[in-house]
Structures are given as C-alpha cells and as structure tokens.
C-alpha cells in the first residue's frame, strides 16, 4: 500500500537560484495543488515522492540543496576520478554513437560543444578527437579541476544560468545533456538557459532516462508481490530526482523553444556490456516506439534544434 510521507524541505544554500516550490513539478514546471504522495526506496534511501498531475512525472518531494547534491554525486561512480575516468572507456560506444548522429546532422569538426554534467570527460574526450572545440560544466569541483588539467575548458556550475563559457554573443553550436537532466531541480529553466547559450539553429542532445513506466508497473504489482514492486521501482529510480515520460519530455523541450528533430532508443545504449534483459528492453523499446509510439526503453536519444526567437 502506498504510504503518504511528509517531507520537510531542505533549506536552499544557493538563494540566488532557489529550487522550485514543492508543489511545482521540477520536470515540466507546472503547479500541482494536490499531488499524489509516495514513499519509494531509491539510491538515496527511503525518500518521499510525488506525481505531477500535468505531465505524469514522478519526482522527489524534498527540496534541492546544491551542497548536498554535490556531496551525493561525489559518492557515485561518475563523481570520483578513479571510477569516473574508467567510465569514459566503458561508455565509449554510446559517446561514439551520439557523435556520429551529431555529425550526420551537420555539426562536426570545428563546432563548439558544451557538455552539461561533463563528469570526467565523457563525450568530450571523444569529441576532441574529431576536432570539436570542447567545454563542460559540472557541480563537482574535482571533476572540473581534472577537466582543466586535461586541457578542456570547464566550469563549476550548479545551473546553466551561471555558465560563462558561452553566451548569446559567443554561442555554442551543440549542447549535450547525457543522463544529467534527471538531476535538475528546474528542467524548464535549464532548457531555456541552454537555448540562450546556443546559436540560432544550434543543436541540443539529451540522452534521456525514460523509465517512468517501470515505476508505474512496480506500483501495479505491489498488491501481488511487494518484493518485486520495490525492486522494479528501485531500479527505475536509481538515484535520480525525477522520472519523466518521454512524450512529456518532448513537449517540455518544444516549450523551451526547440524543434524536436528525432527521438529514438537507437544509439542510447551506452555500452554493449549490459545484461540480456537490458539489451532486450532496448530492442523491444525501439520497435514499440517507432511502430506504436509506446515508450518502454530505459533511455532515449533526443535531438532538437534551437528555433530563433
């Protein structure tokens, strides 16, 4: 049975960029007067969650604290140097597939690329080999220090609104957001900030985590198997702050001033070293999305082009 949970918001330590009120959805920005409440076990432990009445996103109900989020990220594989650098090689297939599609869309050698949540290089390591001018932002200062030591332009930012690497006068050609959007406290604002940093006709790539249907399935089987329910929900959430349906994400991207060019699970599998069940989910997800418009793949590559104001 779903239990209502009262969560006390954490005081924001960055008042210049306050988190959205608890009644607002961090994924679409809509106000929720009486959102449904749940308690889910995730990579952050037992946490209070809500579900948006507008976009059907599941999201953490507690407030966002930049210092706490930075400390949490340091404890993850992509937040420390030893494991983060190793992940670059493990996920190389996914970076190569994304860059292949970026180049197919007309952005190649000489293009300026900004990676949001760059960690310890990620896609930028591969992009530099192809002649891209590379820059990255992240909330972990150690990651930014490593990036600079490797010759990348990099900046510690808790929000793209703080980014000074690019501007309207000196814009980026491509902004990539790989598995990072699900940690944003205000996705619409971050997408608008990305729009501001891009040139007209600039490209936005989001490797979107699209597992909200897994959470719904987990809730549905709860009356039959509590253990299976918790397992499904735990795997779907991982340590993310929200889980948004793909179609809702596409509407949110369009609302921020972008034209969606494509959305597909094809190329979103970042490594071939995955369990058979995960590979099957990608294969079936690709067929269902392109055949019936049903999204069940764990992740999806979304390409969108900035529309001039």
Q: pLDDT digit string (tens) for 200-253?
A: 999 999 999 999 999 999 999 988 999 999 999 999 999 999 999 999 999 999
pTM, 2 dp: 0.89
Structure tokens at 307: 């529309």
Q: Which residues contact 193 (CB under 8 A, 6 or more apart)?
A: 159, 160, 161, 163
Residue 1 has pLDDT above 70, yes or no: no
Q: Are 145 and 189 in contact (CB under 8 A)?
A: no
Cβ within 8 Å of residue 239, ≥6 positions away = 42, 43, 44, 72, 76
pLDDT of 212 reads 94
Per-residue pLDDT at 11 exceeds 90: no
194: tokens are 């990305």
> Is-contact 179 211, C-beta < 8 A?
no
% residues pLDDT > 70 (the chain): 90
Query: 3 pLDDT exceeds 50?
Result: no
CA 255/CA 305 separation, integer angstroms: 12
Give the per-residue pLDDT at 17.
Answer: 47
Contact 133, 112 (CB under 8 A): yes
> What pLDDT is stored for residue 22 in this prediction?
57
Neighbours of 266 (CB within 10 A): 18
**φ, ψ of residue 37 in degrees (nearest 5):** -115, 140
pLDDT at 276: 73
**Mean pLDDT throughout 33-54?**
90
Per the prediction, the chain carries an average pLDDT of 89
- The percent of the chain in helix, strand and coil, each rounded to the nearest 5, is 40, 25, 40
The per-residue pLDDT for range 87-138, each reduced to its tens digit, is 999 999 999 999 999 999 999 999 999 999 999 999 999 999 999 999 999 9
Contacts of 86 (CB under 8 A, 6+ apart): none
| Rounded Cα distance, 79 and 261, in Å | 31
Residue 306, exposed/middle/buried by CB under 10 A (0-12, 13-18, 19+)? buried
Rounded-to-integer distance, Cα 26 and Cα 30, Å? 8
Full set of structural domains in the chain with CATH: 1-64+211-241 (no CATH), 67-210+245-306 (3.40.50.150)
Using the CB atoms, write b or e for 222-253: b if 16+ within 10 Å.
Answer: beeeeeebeebbeebbeebbbbbbbebbbebb
The answer to whether 259 touches 201, Cβ cutoff 8 Å, is no
Helices (H), 19-80: 66-74
- Each residue's pLDDT tens digit, 144-183: 999 999 999 999 999 999 999 999 999 999 999 999 999 9
Is 9's pLDDT higher than 50? no
At residue 286, the pLDDT reads 76
């Amino acid at each position: 049975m779903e239990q209502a949970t009262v969560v006390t918001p954490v005081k924001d330590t960055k008042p210049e960029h306050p988190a959205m009120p608890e009644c607002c959805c961090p994924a679409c920005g809509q106000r929720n007067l009486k959102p449904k409440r749940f308690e889910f076990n995730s990579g952050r432990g037992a946490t209070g969650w809500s579900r948006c009445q507008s976009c059907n996103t599941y999201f953490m109900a507690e407030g966002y604290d930049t210092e706490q989020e930075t400390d949490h990220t340091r404890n993850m594989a992509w937040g420390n140097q030893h494991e983060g650098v190793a992940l670059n090689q493990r996920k190389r297939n996914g970076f190569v597939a994304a860059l292949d599609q970026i180049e197919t869309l007309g952005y190649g050698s000489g293009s300026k690329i900004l990676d949001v949540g760059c960690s310890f290089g990620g896609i930028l390591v591969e992009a530099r080999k192809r002649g891209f001018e590379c820059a990255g932002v992240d909330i972990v200062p150690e990651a930014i220090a490593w990036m600079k030591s490797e010759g990348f332009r990099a900046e510690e930012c808790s929000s793209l609104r703080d980014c000074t690497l690019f501007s309207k006068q000196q814009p980026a050609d491509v902004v990539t957001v790989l598995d990072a959007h699900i940690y944003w406290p205000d996705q619409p604002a971050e997408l608008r900030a990305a729009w501001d940093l891009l040139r007209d006709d600039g490209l936005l790539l989001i490797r979107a985590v699209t597992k909200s249907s897994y959470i719904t399935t987990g809730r549905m089987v709860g009356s039959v198997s509590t253990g299976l329910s918790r397992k499904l929900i735990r795997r779907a959430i991982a340590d993310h702050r929200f889980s948004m349906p793909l179609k809702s994400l596409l509407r949110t991207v369009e609302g921020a001033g972008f034209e969606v060019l494509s959305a597909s699970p094809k190329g979103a599998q970042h490594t071939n070293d995955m369990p058979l069940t995960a590979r099957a989910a990608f294969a079936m997800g690709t067929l269902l999305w392109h055949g019936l418009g049903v999204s069940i793949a764990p992740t999806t590559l979304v390409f969108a082009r900035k529309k001039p104001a």
